[in-house]
Structure 1
Amino acid sequence: MGAKGTETRCRLIRATRGLVEKHGYFGAGLNQIIEASGAPRGSLYFHFPGGKDQLVAAAVAEAGAEIAALIAAVPPGDTAAAATSLLTAFGDRLEASGWHQGCPVAAVTLDVSAANDAIQTECAAAYSAWETALRDRLQADGRANADDLAASILAMVEGGLLLARAQRSREPLERVARTIRAML
């Protein structure tokens, strides 16, 4: 694929990420994705012959890899700082978007993962990658209970994002950060 094709594919994925995160799977139609991306309709089916499901799965995979890399990039030694940094980044994004863009995977997970195997697989892979990155940080910190802690921290982060979005406040994220620091 040439540079122009790669750019078009990336624009489609970025537009999809933004729309599904803001409006959910069902609120992000192909017409809106095409309009937001500026890509021709034919490009959508060229790059994503499986249609919307394939495009959403690609958007979830990209978002999942991005967050996993963010967690993994934090040097070992202070997982609490890594979690706080992640919560701050999510909070900044959420607030800057007018409380529309929290977790880039949660909206899709809640909308369709129970009924759509392809998308469920990508959502599960994203969360698994985040949990693995957290577990690796915790193990590097010498935590014997890294598996349980990683799952708990991930659940707290996701829950904090949901509450922050619902309340239009960073306070739930700040509470989660304090609790994670106290746990660790």
Structure 2
Amino acid sequence: MGRKGDETRSRLLDATQDLVESGGYFGAGLNQVVAASGAPRGSLYFHFPGGKEQLVGESVRRAGREIGRTVRDLAEAVPDTASLVTGVLALLGDRLEASGWRKGCPVATVVLEMAAVSDPLQEVCAEVYGSWEGELRDRLAADGHPEPDDTATVLLALVEGALLLARARRSREPLDRAARRVAALLRPS
């Protein structure tokens, strides 16, 4: 694929990610994706012959990689897992607030709407969550935490739940409360 094809594909994925994050799977109709991306309709089917399911799946996977990179970059800049998780909460909170409380987690909306009815989308969402858990597990293990697998799951659930509550309340308060509890959760027993 040439440069122009790559750019068109990227615009389609950008538009899909934006629409899915703000309006969910059902808020990202193909007509809306074409309009938001400025791409010709035929390009949609050329780049994503599997249709909307493939387009959304690749968009979620791509967004997951972007957040994964952000987590890895932050992990290199902070001294411990507690600082990493509070930093992630702050970054995602900034993103959520800047979007007018429309863009929380790029995976949560899709998994809530589609995991029960679309095996391919459920698998993509599980893959992305698994990669994020892996980042947390690796950091916990490096910090010498005795239960990195279980704790990584708990921390991811805490971040996801805090984002959901913050979006519902249009307030950073749930994120701030979660951040305050992280140090206590990671304190050695």
Identify the TM-score tier after normalising by the shorter chain: over 0.9
Unaligned 5+ segments in structure 2 are: none
What CA RMSD, in Å, does the superposition of the two structures yield over aligned residues? 1.0
- TM-score, scaled to structure 1: 0.97
Secondary structure of the residue aligned to 1:134 is: helix
**1:90-145, CA deviations, whole angstroms, 9 ceiling, x for partnerless residues?**
11111111100000110001010111011111000000000000000110111111
> Which ranges of 4 or more aligned residues in structure 1 deviate by more than 3 Å?
none
Give the C-alpha shift of residue 182 in structure 1.
1.7
2:107 alignment partner AA: V
Identify the residue that residue 104 of structure 1 maps to in structure 2. 106
| Counterpart position of 2:2 | 2
Write the distance in 2 (CA, Å) between the matches of 1:69 and 1:114.
Answer: 28
CA deviation after TM superposition for structure 1 residue 84, in Å: 1.1
User: Counterpart of 1:35?
Assistant: 35
Q: Check the 8 A contact 1:21/1:104 in 2, yes or no.
A: yes
For the residue of structure 2 that corresponds to 1:49, the secondary structure is: coil
Write the deviation string for residues 1-40 of structure 1: whole angstroms up to 9, x where unpaired: 1111111111111100110111110111000000111111
Q: Which residue of 2 aligns with 1:181?
A: 183
Look up the match of 1:57. Answer: 57
Separation in 2, partners of 1:67, 1:144? 26
Once residues 27 and 46 of structure 2 are traced to their aligned partners in structure 1, the CA distance between those partners, rounded to angstroms, is 23
Match of 1:162 in 2: 164
Structure 1 window deviating more from structure 2 (6-15 vs 76-85): it is 76-85
64-73 or 88-97, which moves further after superposition? Answer: 64-73
Query: 1:77 deviation in Å?
Result: 3.9
Cα shift readout 1:37-56 (whole Å, capped 9, x = no counterpart):
11110100000001100000
Amino acid in the other structure paired with 1:169: S
Q: Contact 1:12/1:34 (CA < 8 Å) preserved in 2? A: yes
Q: Is the 8 A contact 1:72 1:137 kept in 2?
A: no
Aligned residue pair count: 184
Offset of residue 68 of structure 1: 1.7
The corresponding residue for 1:12 is 12
Q: Is the 8 A contact 1:160 1:173 kept in 2?
A: yes
SS of match in other structure, 2:44 = helix
* 3-state SS in 2 of match to 1:26: helix
Contact 1:25/1:111 (<8 A) preserved: yes
- Name the amino acid aligned to 2:157: A
1:150 paired with 2:152, answer yes
